[in-house]
Amino acid sequence: MSMLVFILLSVVYFFQVTPIIVKQEAFTLPTIGYRLTGTHLKTKQTQSTFFCANECVRMDECLAYNYKHENGTCQLMPTADLSKAEPDDEFQIIRKKITCIDQPCMHGGTCHDEPTSVNDVRGYKCTCPCGRCGPNCNKLHFGQVENACIYLFNAGYQKVKSQQECMSFCWDTQGCRSADYINSQGACWLNSVTGDEEPLTMDCDKWYPGVAYLFFNCTCDA
């Protein structure tokens, strides 16, 4: 039998489940001596950790499970966050791998299934659009040119509290390509063009102290 596949056999009459195949790469290696805390989605006794995995893959909300070998206690959990784990010598934590079928990539990112570390819950990689970075394209990524701005290409305006909020407003506004943020006024002026398409005015601080031209950065840090 392949080491990559565990065939979980069950008797329909006794267990009231249909036999399914659970791939080994669908879960991480066990985190031994720890137990995830919080509300359980379901708790039952199973014959082995593989039968517990069988229960987890049947429930979309299940992201991990606690397993106790001594009596087969299987606790299905709605989180795989190890920061919510506490030491418990009788248990181990097995986390479900997240793949593209779970649609993990945000903000228009493209998902690619790919092998990852046996200890990593991510079984995918996101290709993010310009201005987004992070494992799930969840981080806004932008740069700035101090004292500069773009004139005559306004695409919107809003009072904001930070550059981050200004560029979030730009990201959510159709037609916005860049922004001018005036820190002294908390003003966010959206632009329909970028500094690559129209020349920047480099001395805007004469009229707008604390102004900065903001643009989406397409290069994410490694």
pLDDT in tens, the chain (222 residues): 333 333 333 333 334 444 445 555 688 889 999 999 999 999 999 999 989 999 998 998 999 999 999 999 999 999 999 999 999 999 999 999 888 988 999 999 999 988 777 778 888 999 999 999 999 999 999 999 999 999 889 999 999 999 999 999 999 999 999 999 999 999 999 999 999 999 999 999 999 999 999 999 999 976
Amino acid found at 133: C
Amino acid found at 80: A
DSSP string for residues in 170-203: HHHSTT--EEEEETTTTEEEEESS-TTTSPPBTT
Is 149 in contact with 201 (CB distance < 8 Å)?
A: yes
How many CB atoms are located within 10 Å of the residue 1 CB? 6
Number of helical H runs and strand E runs in the chain:
3, 16
Amino acid found at 143: G
Cross-strand pairs, 87: 34
Interval 190-217: pLDDT, tens: 999 999 999 999 999 999 999 999 999 9
Strands 211-216 and 178-182: antiparallel
* pTM of the shown model: 0.70
What is the Cα–Cα distance from 164 to 160, expressed in whole angstroms?
9
What is the Cα–Cα distance from 55 to 220, expressed in whole angstroms?
38
The per-residue pLDDT for 2 is 38
Residue that the structure tokens 């970028």 belong to: 194
Interval 142-152: pLDDT, tens: 999 999 999 88
The per-residue pLDDT for 22 is 53
What is the Cα–Cα distance from 112 to 47, expressed in whole angstroms?
35
The per-residue pLDDT for 194 is 95
DSSP string for residues in 72-86: TEEEEES---GGGEE
